Amino acid sequence: MLELAIREEHVAAVVTQPDRPSGRKRQVNPPPVKVLATEKNIKILQPQNVSHPDVIKKIGNLKPDLIVVVAYGAILKPPLLELPPLGCINIHPSLLPRHRGPCPIEWTLRKGEKTGGITCIYMDEGMDTGDIIIQRELDISVSDTTGSLREKLSRLGAEVLAETFNRIKKGKVSRKPQKGNPTYAPMLEKKDCLIDWSKPAPSIHNLVRALNPHLGARAYPNGQSKKLIIWETELSGEGNKGAAPGVVTGTSEDGITISTGEGCLLLRSVQPEGSKIQTGAEYIRGHNIEKFTLRACC
């Protein structure tokens, strides 16, 4: 989205989060938007608190006509919202008022929804509660993960942002209040990653999709303390043949078939704790699995 804005608009500055440790080695890395802004010689601000009076003064000195917010991770307060004469707009990756909050893509998938989208709103003091400028839908496939859906929504978001800019320039921006019952998409924690094999196979499949490529859904083979992260699954279409939830009902070159509370699930891609990602077929060659069990913690 920044690339698009650089081509068509004057970007006075980019405000992003401070550099933070990431990865297994916890190396301090800059946010991707900082890397791109550096390449384009755009001024960069990385405040610890964007609502601090000194930060608001710095942004005010730039005299922005419009502030665009995309996945910033903090709520803007009135002194900042009131700075630009054309307002503050936000690109949010869900069909608001569904999935307000920090993890809309993950919750869209976890709920098994077949339609997602982008909403551009005028920001107010609430969390994703502002009036809608533009809303666009897209179809979600049964194989989409958070990673693939985020990529699709990023491209759609860039198109929506460009259309919003054009409407603002022409003075043809309409706004409408959000309608319908809002839902909230909170941050996912490790406890949310545990697979409950008594759930139906589609529910577990949706959890796996939602947690790929970040946290990963967690399972414990043969009651062991070491977890197995499940990265990719497929609905097998088989009944569980009376097998208890979590029991291995078959293995093949396609992966490991597990019974659930309703139907069976094929594990295609897994990662043993402390090891690399491998196919389900590769994993079973070195492990004798009979049953996956529930655990109380991660």
pLDDT confidence bin for 73, thresholds 50/70/90: confident
DSSP 7-57: HHS----EE-PPPEEETTTTEEE--HHHHHHHHTT--EE--S-TTSHHHHH
Q: Does the pLDDT at position 1 exceed 70?
A: no
How far is it, in rounded angstroms, from Cα 87 to Cα 76? Answer: 12
- Strands 292-293 and 217-221, by their bridges, are antiparallel
Report, as an integer, the average pLDDT of 162-189.
94
Reading the block at residue 213, the tokens are 């490529």
- Cβ-Cβ contacts under 8 Å for 271 (sequence gap 6 or more): 216, 228, 229, 231, 277, 278
Tell me the C-alpha to C-alpha distance, in Å, between residue 90 and each of 130, 237, 249, 290.
9, 41, 48, 49
**pLDDT score of 289:** 87
Q: What is the pLDDT of residues 226-247, one digit of tens each?
A: 899 999 999 987 777 789 999 9
The pTM of the whole model exceeds 0.95: no
**Which residue, 266, 292, 268, 287, is CA-closest to 279?**
268
Stretch among 18-32, 63-77, 108-122, 159-173 having the lowest mean pLDDT: 18-32
d(CA 129, CA 139): 24
pLDDT digits (tens, 9 = 90+) for 29-38: 999 999 999 9
